[in-house]
Amino acid sequence: MQNPRYMHIAPLFVALFLFGGCSHPAKKVLEVQNPPVSAQQRVDSGCAYFYFLRGSQAEYNQHFDEALNAYQKVVTCDPTASYIYEKIPILFIKMGKIDEAEKWLQTFIASHPDQTTQRLLLAEIKIHNGDLPEATRLYEEAMKQTPNNQSLVLRLALLYGQQNEYKKAEGILTAYLQKNEQSYQANLALARIYAQGGNYGEAAEKYESALNLNWSRDLVMEMAEFFNNIKNFDRALSLYRSILVMDKKDEAAHLGVIQTLVSMDLEKQAIAELAELRTISKDPDNLDLIESQIYLSRGKTAPAEKILLAILKKRPSTQAEYLLALVYINQKKPDAALLALKRIGPSSSEYDSGVLLQIQILQEEKRLNEALQLLETIIAGKATRKPVYFALLSSLYQEVPDTQRSLNALREGIGLYPDNAQLYFELGLLQENTGDHQQAMASMEKALQLQPDNPEALNFIGYSWADENRNLDQALAYIKRAAAQKPDNGFIRDSLGWVYYRLGDYTRSVVELEKAVSLEPGDPHIADHLGDAYSAAGQKDKAFETYTRAMGLFTEENDKVMVQEKINALKTHQ
């Protein structure tokens, strides 16, 4: 059936197609059918529809440049064609022109502040680029227009949660639930936010509310994992068993019961549950692997070894080989472990873990040359090389030490994988350690260009700027983004406190540096920074105490002398 909106245009479309443009006679007919508009905003619906169809067809065929050109002509024909304003930025995104889409949306929103759809699309681009604070601001603006929109509430709460602003997330979800207490999605979202923030009692309550509103197997499995994590094993067991009441053949629920029993040190019951699962399992060999893991986790290597050797006698199994290597490591048999790991081929999902475990064994056995030879062989093969191996090879050469080979390994990796942010990050660290700070900053900026939300690169650049007392506003923005991703990282907290110190905000500096010291109590540089912040904030006694602790932590004589001078200065001004 034809869309009534366009029925009167069909003959006109044929005429436009034949004449290849928007003819004046056709436009005259439309003037009678459409409401009057200003001379500056003259609407030609036929022309707009013609180019809309052309653009839609081009987009369908993935001819995005042609589609974009057609859609832009729609706007020329009909400036009021609001439906097209959603098409253009999405086309930019499909074309990979994210920056153009962002600029277009910013311009559009500035002149159309009431358009929620485009604001939310811009927010998603900001999220993609790692700019969560700006994305949050855009969602907050959208919320002002539609404060009771559940989708916006949930998305904004998620954004707050990702930045560890749990109180804000809790606030908007709680406010929403006061008006919509039967909302399953909001109860579940609040449970997850409480869990993220460490409010486990409140999380448990909201999980139960969500479950009462809408029982589902997926929710029960999530809740069981949550209760296992907070060591409420009885509730976890009851949840897994509630699934088994509904479906006795649910293997995942059976495995959940087994895992929980192991966590409760109920080994015999776990083995009995495993035996019951064998009667219904479609993959009994996998259960043998699980049984060996149970014994291995209990430190019972003999029965684990017996099961694994029996598996390997029946069929090849890289999983069994890997577990057998762990058994041999526990039994202090490094050569046997290495032999098992060498039988894991490159096509196996255990290959990377097996290589890393081999390197670990060789390092512990002080067989560094063998570790280097292994990695050199791996990166020489196109089928086996990966970026991580170049970074690992570089770190091994640093142990030798051979700085030049260490640098060469990373540069070779970057040559093969120019879009790998981690390799640039590792190169930046190495350059910093060798005293080439300028090149280190360039490598870190490249890492950040490839991975805008890399917290370590953000922290490195932000701290460097703060230490050099420049670009302080941008340094603060960078370090805040890093801290949002890793709130419990003491070194990032130290950076945040230090940039506040440089900005002269000594109150906030003290707060952040106290957190940093609590997270990294053995780091002398963080303690020294906190002493500086206490001193600047006028808390002389705390500064004296903290400097004294820092001096005890430092091992280099130059550092001790520096801190002693600060202590002497405090005594002089008392």
Per-residue pLDDT tens for 275-287?
999 888 888 778 9
**Residue 69 confidence (pLDDT):** 87
**Residue 28 confidence (pLDDT):** 31
For residue 104, count other CB atoms closer than 10 A to its CB: 18
Residue 30 banded pLDDT, cuts 50, 70, 90: very low
Two structure tokens written together for 186: 């909001």
Contact 339, 327 (CB under 8 A): no
Structurally, the chain folds into a number of domains equal to: 4
Residue at 268 is within a domain: no
**Residue 359 confidence (pLDDT):** 96
Contact 466, 472 (CB under 8 A): yes
Residue at 300 is within a domain: yes
303-325 average pLDDT score: 95
pLDDT at residue 369 greater than cutoff 90:
yes
**What type of residue is 457?**
A
| Residues 442, 466 share a domain | no
CA separation for the pair 88, 93 (Å, rounded): 9
| Residues 572, 463 share a domain | yes
| Residues 442, 481 share a domain | no
Coil, helix or strand at residue 453? coil
* Alpha-carbon radius of gyration of the chain: 31
Interhelix angle 421-433/455-467, rounded to 10 degrees, is 30
Task: Give the domain extent around 332.
Answer: 287-345
Coil, helix or strand at residue 177? helix
Contact 524, 562 (CB under 8 A): no
DSSP designation for 44: -
Contact 344, 351 (CB under 8 A): yes
Residue at 184 is within a domain: no
| Residues 564, 457 share a domain | yes
Q: Please classify residue 195 by burial: count the beta carbons closer than 10 Å to its beta carbon, then call 0-12 exposed, 13-18 middle and 19+ buried.
A: buried
Number of C-alpha atoms within 13 angstroms, CB side, residue 252? 9
- Cα distance from N-terminal residue to C-terminal residue, the chain: 90
| Residues 574, 507 share a domain | yes
**Residue 574 confidence (pLDDT):** 64
Q: What CATH number is attached to the domain comprising 55?
A: 1.25.40
For residue 332, count other CB atoms closer than 10 A to its CB: 8
For residue 401, cis peptide bond before it (omega within 30 degrees of 0): yes
pLDDT at residue 67 greater than cutoff 90:
no
9-16 average pLDDT score: 30
Last residue of a domain, one of 80, 96, 112: 96
Among residues 259, 185, 256, the alpha carbon closest in space to that of 223 is found at 256
**Residue 41 confidence (pLDDT):** 52
Last residue of a domain, one of 397, 422, 452: 452
**What type of residue is 294?**
I
| Residues 403, 512 share a domain | no
- % of residues, the chain, pLDDT over 90: 69
The C-alpha torsion from 9 through 14 and 15 to 17, rounded to 10°, is 120
Residue at 423 is within a domain: yes
| Residues 433, 318 share a domain | no
**Residue 104 confidence (pLDDT):** 86
Coil, helix or strand at residue 544? helix
**What type of residue is 377?**
T
Residue at 178 is within a domain: no
Quote the Cα angle for 282-283-289, to 5°: 155
**Residue 29 confidence (pLDDT):** 29
Q: Please classify residue 206 by burial: count the beta carbons closer than 10 Å to its beta carbon, then call 0-12 exposed, 13-18 middle and 19+ buried.
A: buried
pLDDT digits (tens, 9 = 90+) for 164-174: 788 999 999 99
Cα-based distances in Å from 60 to 27, 55, 66 = 28, 8, 11
**Residue 266 confidence (pLDDT):** 93
What secondary structure, in 3-state letters, does 116-152 show?
HHHHHHHHHHHHHCCCHHHHHHHHHHHHHHCCCCHHH
352-375 average pLDDT score: 96
CA separation for the pair 198, 413 (Å, rounded): 40
DSSP designation for 298: T
Coil, helix or strand at residue 532? helix
**Which residues lie closer than 8 Å to 245 by C-beta, 6 or more apart?**
none
| Residues 574, 483 share a domain | yes
Last residue of a domain, one of 398, 429, 452: 452
